[in-house]
Structure 1
């Protein structure tokens, strides 16, 4: 069949285009790299963006209005939160000389804090905590928005804009040189908890209890064991803070490839992280890990916790969770599993994880139009008696109820969509894997759980088939390695799918994840190559299109890459 032409303009969201969408189409390999560099020309063309990348659309409109209302200098920017601890977070982040470049450090007197109050309905008002900073130092501040994921959502911004005529500026001013801990700033309102939050928590428990590997543990779950946050990174951030409060003495052990914002969060934690990159079956992961743990034990120490994505993003390696659980029990450390890629429908990590963190923005939502993150803390874990009271007493709702309501609605089709995502991804990966076996093909390897040597580790936590979901699978994400960067670019630039970051959406998205995201950090990029996260790799989040359309689309791009390989070979 003819390859479908993408008609969406650069910078616009994938269809259907509407307010609050969280994707954007930026075709071309070099365009992706320009995004990571923050190219002003490209940014000026974006009508939509992934919200954690920075304030955009309605959030930018609200920022502009507040900038004027607060009479800030033209040289200043601002970011907006509903949690007042954003002030102390900004103080720490903007003055951290170990991790910030000198030119990005913000002099304390130039970091300003303000508080405003705006109605968001006829019944509720919200207090917003505003961090203002010189634009020339922006990279030294906006990381608190990007890495921690607690900035306000576009729907909350829209609600505030609708009531801007009732804006109240509180009589509070402070700088980075002041004590802005909670007792010294205006009392927060946070956001109201509603039936949407309760319903979404119940939905997550329902999915966690479906076809469980350990019925006894699953039956103990209740909505009170679920904590909701505005993004997946916010869930990671809030959990991280709770865990280092309980266990402040150790490093964070991180296994395999993880999302880059998570990586930076962990490495910048007070005691740092110990990263084990290679986690495939050929690695000596568990010998090295146990040697490290034994060494820490001999020194009287232990890890704060161990974090792993299952499987990992973007190389889809599945660490041996059963073996990891045995080490955790022996050396006394909690296991935190991010199951976003495998997803509730396919895998059950409850028997081995102390906490499960999920970006419910991805396939649970599935339509790329709202954000959310969740923590599931099983009462069966030994960590629960200490962590549950801490999370419960420190939890403050930052998740706007219209976002929660839409995500709950989207989740009703989750199992049906997951069945299609599994089937499409397996078919596409099977085709691409056949290319990897062909010497004339530019494909070097395919990263998808059934084609990797860690498949038994994934299968060990796969849910059993049920009538409503008869074919558990391996999820929507895969990656393709090419023989060279030139061949990868040729393939990608001829691939007629939507191009940009995000995964789990209804339409297929491709992105040169490693080269675009890590390419601006040469040392990190070299390190990632040591465990398979190569710059010549294209990450693909498979959507709900027909299998025939997907295969034909990828075959067309593959033929272009084969032609380029033949041309380059003939020149040598």
Structure 2
């Protein structure tokens, strides 16, 4: 038996708990589904929350004060942003035909602008009982203010003043934004990312890449949202998604006015590149192709080499989200026009700060027009305190990543040994165990004296039945809930939690490999022997169900 049992209470973060932690413990398969379905008894126990889900903690406290001082109606909620275009973004989201529940009427959204200690916030007000109909614009854009920024502003609420404006004005006619100052920490963080990008390259260095080609954002989703805006100025048209895509990214793309084409199956048998080529031939213009490398949560690695050839032939842009593979393990500069990374994950590694980055690659023709857009339109939206924390956390990034690679491989190999006829385990989803493994290793950084590249911290395991998956999950002595790349291991019945509420939608995702019988695992920094023992114990319960 395992000596150390998880004692973190439901609704609390993984240790050490604090005001800026971004995880929350929801132990047990059925609790996760109850949370998904809006069980208020569970919500009332939350002491921590992933900040991009909704304003929480310090951000919620600041919103309450803004609502009082700016005379919001009673029973209203508030979403504070730094960008004036957030008003039009909120309207587009709230009134979209995609809204199935709690759809707002035009007169129900209200907009107010407040200044606090030199920071201008554009605040979207909404009826609290229609929260589900608006909260997606906070989640999908990732552009809301952070808990550290809220903590800073809470010290200066006596300075709050409401800024008058014409409510019918377009975003460009609103009182101008202040945004946030860039500090020396911003430059140091860009320099750290730059050095990781050029470390142990797979192919010759990207010509002319500089730290100035790296742009920082408050979240990974904010990076994706702003890249989409920029690309649509350079090459408007429908975008294409390949394979499994993080659910907020997928939802954002699905509502793109320019159109979205998704190719779900991307395993070796799918011949997805042939299908993509046939599609782009029939389109006048494909704007860009977006791909996670490898994909969350099924860990498929698409053929980036062939994708680059198609982009060169047909003139579209390639955007690669390398969050799961991570800077230290993979080098995609020979394939990607743009690289997006959620710095919240293994780059930070301690589950207490959020951030995102965008890299514009000077090796390809779209660099110059994209760079021109960024030079004109980019404004800093990430708070200095968050940047300083990302900088501090990432100081041991390579050392931590070596442990994450080792631990994840040990767990994946253990699970793989259980795959076979009559076993509870039917498949291990992890880059080296995938039929797309060669696509990953093509972009894997060569070993150096100080670091050996691996496959990252994330894997999924598929069971012979839902009952076996539940038995495994309910007896797995690791923390359970959203997030990946943390210092402690996290498990999540991701597909059921994120996609299972809409059976019709889920059927589509099942078609390319996301199944109810899967459990996603983000391995942490524990001792490898301890982890193996924990997973062996949980497997015994899964085997009993078979």
Tell me which interval the TM-score lies in, with the shorter structure as reference length: over 0.9
Equivalent position of 1:428 in the other structure: 411
Instruction: State which of 439, 444, 460 in structure 2 corresponds to 1:457.
Output: 439
Equivalent position of 1:207 in the other structure: 196
Equivalent position of 2:234 in the other structure: 246
**Per the alignment, in what secondary structure is the counterpart of residue 79 of structure 2?**
strand
Aligned mates of 1:180, 1:244 — CA distance in 2: 19
Equivalent position of 1:23 in the other structure: 23
Which range moved further: 34-43 or 257-266? Answer: 34-43
2:508 is aligned with 1:527 = yes
Which range moved further: 87-96 or 342-351? Answer: 87-96
Equivalent position of 1:568 in the other structure: none
Report how far residue 24 of structure 1 moved: 0.8
Counterparts of 1:348-427 in structure 2, within 5 Å, are 348-427=331-410
Aligned mates of 2:240, 2:525 — CA distance in 1: 36
CA RMSD in angstroms, aligned pairs only: 1.2
Equivalent position of 1:91 in the other structure: 91
**Per the alignment, in what secondary structure is the counterpart of residue 308 of structure 1?**
strand
Counterparts of 1:230-245 in structure 2, within 5 Å, are 230-245=218-233
Equivalent position of 1:74 in the other structure: 74
Report how far residue 49 of structure 1 moved: 0.6
Maintained 8 Å contact 1:450/1:474:
yes
Maintained 8 Å contact 1:3/1:496:
no
Maintained 8 Å contact 1:3/1:553:
no
Query: Residues 3 and 303 from structure 1, CA distance in 2 versus in 1: closer, same or farther, beyond 3 angstroms?
Result: farther
Maintained 8 Å contact 2:82/2:144:
yes
Equivalent position of 1:122 in the other structure: none
Instruction: State which of 240, 248, 257 in structure 2 corresponds to 1:270.
Output: 257
**Structure 1 gap ranges (5+):** 120-124, 566-572
Instruction: State which of 427, 443, 446 in structure 1 corresponds to 2:428.
Output: 446
Aligned mates of 1:22, 1:216 — CA distance in 2: 35
Aligned mates of 1:153, 1:477 — CA distance in 2: 26
**Per the alignment, in what secondary structure is the counterpart of residue 436 of structure 1?**
coil
Instruction: State which of 273, 277, 290 in structure 2 corresponds to 1:290.
Output: 277
Report how far residue 288 of structure 1 moved: 1.2
2:96 is aligned with 1:115 = no
Report how far residue 221 of structure 1 moved: 1.6
Q: Provide Cα deviations, 1:35-78, integer angstroms capped at 9, x if missing partner.
A: 22232221111111111111100001111111221222222111
Query: Residues 137 and 179 from structure 1, CA distance in 2 versus in 1: closer, same or farther, beyond 3 angstroms?
Result: farther
Report how far residue 3 of structure 1 moved: 4.2
Aligned mates of 2:374, 2:464 — CA distance in 1: 47
Equivalent position of 1:42 in the other structure: 42
- Which 4+ residue blocks in structure 1 deviate beyond 4 angstroms? none
Report how far residue 275 of structure 1 moved: 0.8
Aligned mates of 1:361, 1:392 — CA distance in 2: 25
Aligned mates of 2:172, 2:33 — CA distance in 1: 40
Maintained 8 Å contact 1:3/1:549:
no
**Per the alignment, in what secondary structure is the counterpart of residue 329 of structure 1?**
helix
Report how far residue 173 of structure 1 moved: 6.5
Equivalent position of 1:570 in the other structure: none
Equivalent position of 1:182 in the other structure: 172
2:537 is aligned with 1:539 = no
Report how far residue 243 of structure 1 moved: 0.8
Maintained 8 Å contact 1:228/1:372:
yes
**Per the alignment, in what secondary structure is the counterpart of residue 119 of structure 2?**
strand
Report how far residue 216 of structure 1 moved: 3.3
Maintained 8 Å contact 2:198/2:205:
no
**Per the alignment, in what secondary structure is the counterpart of residue 155 of structure 1?**
helix
Maintained 8 Å contact 1:253/1:275:
yes
**Per the alignment, in what secondary structure is the counterpart of residue 51 of structure 1?**
coil
Query: Residues 11 and 173 from structure 1, CA distance in 2 versus in 1: closer, same or farther, beyond 3 angstroms?
Result: farther
Q: Provide Cα deviations, 1:518-540, integer angstroms capped at 9, x if missing partner.
A: 00121221111111111111000
Q: Provide Cα deviations, 1:475-503, integer angstroms capped at 9, x if missing partner.
A: 00000001111111111011110000100
Instruction: State which of 162, 166, 170 in structure 1 corresponds to 2:155.
Output: 162
